[in-house]
Amino acid sequence: MGGFDDVPEQTKTGKIIAVATLQVKPGKEARFEELISNARDAANSDKEPGTLTYRTNREVDKSGKPTGKYLLFEEYAGKAGFTAHCAQPPLQALLAETDIIASMNLDYAEGKPVIYQ
């Protein structure tokens, strides 16, 4: 399990992929979605040129019903892009509300596919 301090200094491609899995506390989903939407909108704007991709998704169970788990797929031009994203006010606003996220796992990969079909 990684964290914000575990982001790689460098990868072969220079790009950094971050995959975040967040468990949101019951009853806090609407507030989380409001805050993460603000972070996503900023990430996908010209405010964050080092953010190449920022997608947010909510897990569904076998019947298609949404759960409290969210998956974020993020791609950055490098560590500086990741660091700049983390410093943006919309993400800081989310992180400041400590009663929303029950748990978070953050994993990193390099920005080049290594598995081909």
CATH of the domain at 70: 3.30.70.100
Domain assignment present for residue 67? The answer is yes
Domain assignment present for residue 116? The answer is no
Instruction: Quote the pLDDT of residue 8.
Output: 84
Helices (H), 1-117: 29-43, 79-87, 89-96
> Rounded to whole angstroms, how far apart are CA atoms 91 and 17?
17
Ramachandran class of 32: left when φ > 0, alpha when ψ lies in -120 to 50, beta otherwise: alpha
Three-class DSSP category at 38: helix
Is the predicted pLDDT of residue 84 greater than 50, yes or no?
yes
Is the predicted pLDDT of residue 1 greater than 50, yes or no?
no
Domain assignment present for residue 6? The answer is no
Q: What's the number of domains the chain is made of?
A: 1
Domain assignment present for residue 87? The answer is yes
> Rounded to whole angstroms, how far apart are CA atoms 47 and 50?
9
Give the single-character DSSP code of 11. Answer: -
Domain assignment present for residue 5? The answer is no
Domain assignment present for residue 60? The answer is yes
Q: Where are the beta strands (DSSP E) in the chain?
A: 16-24, 51-60, 66-76, 101-110
Tokens coding 101: 């996220």
Is the predicted pLDDT of residue 87 greater than 90, yes or no?
yes
**What b/e readout covers 18-30, taking b as 16+ CB neighbours within 10 angstroms?**
bebebebeeebbe
CA dihedral over 6, 55, 117, 60, signed as positive or negative: positive
Domain assignment present for residue 66? The answer is yes
Give the pLDDT confidence of 33-73 residue by residue, as tens digits.
999 999 999 999 999 999 999 999 999 999 999 999 999 99
- Give me the domain span that covers residue 17: 13-110
Domain assignment present for residue 115? The answer is no
